[in-house]
Amino acid sequence: MKTIVIALGGNALLQRGEVLSADNQYKNIELMSETINKLAKEYRVVLVHGNGPQVGLLALQNLAYQDVPAYPLDILVAESQGMIGYMMMQKINQNHPEQAITTVMTRVSVDINDEAFNDPSKFIGPIYDEADKDELMAKYQWTFKQDGKHYRRVVPSPTPKKIIDIDAVRLLLDKGHIVICGGGGGIPVNNSNNEFIGSEAVIDKDLTAALISRELNAEHFVILTEADAIYKNWGTPEQAAIREATPEELAPMAVADGAMGPKIMAVSDFVNATGQQAHIGALQNIQQVIEGQSGTLIYKS
């Protein structure tokens, strides 16, 4: 069977502005659960999810209890892998309990000297207005950047170098499991004297998903997000969806902007490295995106 890797954005699982509740996340996960089960009959399915809203929530909860020192981001990413993975397993198995599905706690190696540690760019947590942003900056020394009309906290997002637990993913796929892995971009660790040390960062899940796709020799790589396609002239009266493009055509948009840029970087890396096709589209259109009837198709020229 062919392998398909599907990357689900944290904001696809929790829509922008929604309350960060379990009920809302279950509702959004349910939108894609039946399609995932159908795909599992034709493909070896790997799911990689984002965790931007969720790890930001955990960070806020982490600070609420002052009697214990705050846990570092690598542990919060691990917590989000367990939380979101469990919720996805519950919904996917709801009507198909016979389908084997497993969440793999996934460590991802990063370079401690990555320039990203000096220039935080990864959005996490909820949106804030300017007054709240200023208060949190003063209180916690957080870094913020503008996200649309609002502000969100940003943290370092180093480039993923190696999927440490990829062999476990392969073994489970061989046994017919749907595998949830690389959650939140993976738990960021760096290799110090042959010991893996957690890093204070959140890796971009799309870049990790692309790396997982390459290491598994996947035939298909799909990124699902809140946007229904890649757009040119986004946010202007001339904006228009791009339905098909090559990595070369998309290169000017492949920038580390914390939004669509990393997704374009990820699909371009995959297409250039493998010659296979990739897709970007909306979660609610998952079946049409995979079939090339919606979203943006990226192909090698």
10 is catalytic: yes
The two structure tokens encoding residue 195: 């010991």
* Helix (H/G/I), strand (E/B), else coil: 154: strand
205 is catalytic: yes
CA distance 280 to 9: 11
Write down the catalytic residue from 56, 122, 186, 285. 122
122 is catalytic: yes
Contact (Cβ atoms closer than 8 angstroms) between residue 231 and residue 241: yes
Strand-strand pairing, 150-155 and 143-147: antiparallel
Q: Which amino acid is located at 131 in the chain?
A: A
Q: How far is CA 250 from CA 216, 263, 265, in A?
A: 25, 11, 9
Write down the catalytic residue from 133, 205, 258, 281. 205
- Sign of torsion over alpha carbons 92, 209, 53, 15: negative
Question: Phi, psi at residue 133, to the nearest 5°?
Answer: -60, -45
CA distance 42 to 2: 8
Write down the catalytic residue from 9, 10, 186, 295. 10
The total of other beta-carbon atoms located within 10 Å of residue 233's CB is 9
Write down the catalytic residue from 11, 28, 51, 190. 11
Write down the catalytic residue from 183, 263, 281, 285. 263
CA distance 165 to 155: 24
The residues annotated as belonging to the active site are: 10-11, 122, 205, 263
